[in-house]
Amino acid sequence: MKFAEKIKALFRRNKLSEETFEDLADLLIEGDMGAALAFEIVDSLKAACKKEGISDPDAAKAKLKELLRPYIKTATFELDPGKLNIVLILGVNGVGKTTSCAKLAQWAGRQYPGNNVILAAGDTFRAAAIDQLKIHGERLGIRVVAQQHGSDPGAVLWDAIDAAAAAGAQLVIADTAGRMHTRSDLVKELAKLDRVVSQRADQANYRKLLVLDATTGQNAMRQAETFHEAVKVDGVIMTKYDSTSKGGMIIAVSRQFGLPTLFLGTGEKYENLQPFNIDAYLEDFVGE
């Protein structure tokens, strides 16, 4: 059953009772929202229903949506036309970083026609990573700046920034190696790369997007915490949203770290990247 269907079924009961609220808390936890946040939301729903005399389950569901909305920070991905825009794509292993680089490059190319995009093969750690990005670049007709396997990712970024300046490109999207948030040495390396890019391109519009896999559940909170602490992340790309009907993590990450989700990855194709839309999201999560 789709997650929203479960919420719907819950509010299809004849009347609101203590049990409805308890079951709702369980469901929100199951939806990856985390226990503390789930109870907080259920408590405020209960209070609002009492205060406003809401006894109709449908009205309570509408109220739930209304209460969830301010928890979700939103932001749009926009290029600064007067600057070089740099996007560093980060995350743990296998979450969909490289695929997201390619998807974002295509999306930005369409959104800003005539703008040159450069992909930077900043994952120099995994042998096949450079080729993987090059293949995406060939398919999409987008230039990929790369060095050899094992080279310094900071140097690749320098090259890409130089190439962008020379070509008048407005956007550099850089892949990075997957690193587990539990590996503090690798997280430190990322912080170093971040410093290198900040110094090299201090006039640029430089952003860091953390890729989180929607099927990871609460572990994504640990990932967000570590990466945000290390490099101050600007936003999230939530991938594999097509593989789960739950998405409570988007609310949890927003609430806990103030991080907006900018895009949803909704499949393996280049087209499967959608700018985050709060109305559509709430409809997915709670139902219409």
Ligand X SMILES: Nc1nc2c(ncn2[C@@H]2O[C@H](COP(=O)(O)OP(=O)(O)OP(=O)(O)O)[C@@H](O)[C@H]2O)c(=O)[nH]1
Annotated binding site for GTP: 91-98, 175-179, 239-242
The nearest distance, CB 175 to Mg ion, in angstroms, is 6
- Stretch near ligand X under the rule CB under 6 A, chosen from 122-130, 156-164, 216-224, 225-233: 122-130
Residue 129 in the binding site for ligand X (CB under 6 A): yes
- Which x/- pattern over 64-103 shows residues binding Mg ion (rule: CB under 5 A)? ---------------------------------xx-----
Return the one option of Mg ion, ligand X, none that residue 265 interacts with (CB less than 5 to 8 A, by type).
ligand X
- Which x/- pattern over 246-265 shows residues binding ligand X (rule: CB under 6 A)? -------------------x
Return the one option of Mg ion, ligand X, none that residue 184 interacts with (CB less than 5 to 8 A, by type).
none
Residue 124 in the binding site for Mg ion (CB under 5 A): no
Residue 30 in the binding site for ligand X (CB under 6 A): no
* Binding to Mg ion in span 141-200, by CB under 5 A: none
Residue in 143, 181, 240, 255 binding ligand X, rule: CB under 6 A: 240
Q: By rule CB under 5 A, what count of residues binds Mg ion?
A: 2
Distance of CA 201 to the CA centre of its chain: 24
Nearer to ligand X, 83 or 110 (CB): 110
Residue 97 in the binding site for ligand X (CB under 6 A): yes
Residue in 5, 66, 80, 268 binding ligand X, rule: CB under 6 A: 268
Q: By rule CB under 6 A, what count of residues binds ligand X?
A: 21
* For helices 57-68 and 35-51, angle between their N-to-C axes, nearest 10 degrees: 130
* For helices 57-68 and 278-286, angle between their N-to-C axes, nearest 10 degrees: 140
Nearer to ligand X, 147 or 239 (CB): 239
Nearer to ligand X, 41 or 142 (CB): 142
Three-state SS string over the chain comes to CCHHHHHHHHHCCCCCCHHHHHHHHHHHHHCCCCHHHHHHHHHHHHHHHHHCCCCCHHHHHHHHHHHHHHHCCCCCCCCCCCCCEEEEEECCCCCCHHHHHHHHHHHHHHHCCCCCEEEECCCCCCCCHHHHHHHHHHHHCCEEECCCCCCCHHHHHHHHHHHHHHHCCCEEEECCCCCCCCCHHHHHHHHHHHHHHHHHCCCCEEEEEEEEECCCCCHHHHHHHHHHHHHCCCEEEEECHHHCCCCHHHHHHHHHHCCCEEEEECCCCCCCEEECCHHHHHHHHHCC
**List of residues contacting ligand X (CB under 6 A):** 91, 93-99, 123, 126, 129, 178, 239-240, 242-243, 265-268, 272
